[in-house]
Structure 1
């Protein structure tokens, strides 16, 4: 990781290069494939170097194509919906952007419903667009309406850590509780478990591990969960 400033070029190169928040491909014809930063922060990339992004202390989510988000349906419009994803503008979700949806058979999504979706279009001069299926397979692949459960908000950095397979928290929680989880890179996490006590325990663990809050490590999170278990008999 390295620190970059706005306007600085970054060495992002890959056959299937995907740019995340804070990075933009230069439109200058003389410098094709030149990638520049649009914000100050730490430059990060995936293990294989195909995905690059900048992490900063930004509180507002800036949509980036192909990122998973958790949104709240705030309006029905025409053949689709408007969804609050925590960005500067609401996102558009077409009523046909669900697995198996047709003009005669559309999902019955109500205002206030939670949606787990993928950003299909993100441009600074346009409202973001969402889809609830994999663009290649047209299968849901876990996307769609989230029923029941509980929605929590955490830092954008915490969400990226939860999606890191090497991060300790989700494997630890999964070894203790049956749980369902949908992590949005927009600072929202949906969780569900057997009962309210376990949902509260999972919520407290995620909030305590958030690097923008207490930033507890694995040892302290384990102690926190053991203390909750003694008080609430979660096992």
Structure 2
């Protein structure tokens, strides 16, 4: 099966690797014949994709409903403080939990003081259909923040999950095109939320308009279309 073949819910996927990681749209199930083996099946319809070394597999489909998967980056909003941690809205059916110690250099005496309404850029550390997701704001291997943590200022744009995947692709035209016009910062969540920041409010508005216009669920503009839109926005 090639990485561009369509799959449907319940269909078996030939995903095998010694360090196998499954992304959105795939589930691992125990084999009915041999309990020591497991099968990978699709949980939603879409295009089957895998990384170059075939260690990571996922189903690419355009949706606005986010289903968390381990190691995915998300933009969340703190909704509640709970003892030694927080509850965070990541746009999923259940709130996610974020431990106050899951930050670079955090200790019981020195930890972040997030408030309700604070934005965070985090990584999904645990995702299971029968449990609430768990988040962390550092790289699990290096224990460094690697860009994760509280997001201050800026603005959050909501878009389709497909658009988020496009923006995470280094070959996609939009962010390099915008970055050539003016300095900007971004944090792209796989949960349909993109945090953006720039020096001037009109630039932030322009970035948001361009993301929405290039979204396959929106105008689906290409690079030339976005350039023409930028001219009308006078940035």
What is the TM-score of this pair, normalised by structure 1?
A: 0.94
User: Hey, what's the Cα distance between the residues in 2 that align with 1:228 and 1:154?
Assistant: 20
Show CA shifts across 1:177-228 (max 9, x none).
1000000000000000011010011111110000111100111111111222
Q: Secondary structure at the match of 1:161?
A: helix
- Matched with 1:36 is 41
- Matched with 1:5 is 8
User: Hey, what's the Cα distance between the residues in 2 that align with 1:187 and 1:170?
Assistant: 16
- Matched with 1:71 is 76
Q: Which runs of 4+ in 1 moved over 4 A?
A: none
Q: How far has the Cα of 1:148 moved from its partner?
A: 0.3
Show CA shifts across 1:61-110 (max 9, x none).
10000000000000000100000000010000001000111011110100
Q: How far has the Cα of 1:10 moved from its partner?
A: 1.1
Show CA shifts across 1:22-68 (max 9, x none).
10112226272421101111112223322211122432110000000
- Matched with 2:189 is 184
User: Hey, what's the Cα distance between the residues in 1 that align with 2:58 and 2:140?
Assistant: 22
Question: 2:63, 2:162 within 8 Å by CA — same for their partners in 1?
Answer: no
For 1:1-235, what aligned pairs fall within 5 Å after superposition?
Answer: 1-28=4-31, 30=34, 32-229=37-234, 234=235
Question: 2:75, 2:90 within 8 Å by CA — same for their partners in 1?
Answer: yes
Alignment gaps of 5+ in structure 1: none
User: Hey, what's the Cα distance between the residues in 2 that align with 1:2 and 1:43?
Assistant: 6
**Please, what is the CA RMSD of the aligned residues?**
1.2
Alignment gaps of 5+ in structure 2: none
Q: Secondary structure at the match of 1:176?
A: coil
User: Hey, what's the Cα distance between the residues in 2 that align with 1:177 and 1:13?
Assistant: 44
Q: Tell me how many residue pairs correspond in the alignment.
A: 230
User: Hey, what's the Cα distance between the residues in 1 that align with 2:220 and 2:212?
Assistant: 8
What is the TM-score of this pair, normalised by structure 2?
A: 0.94
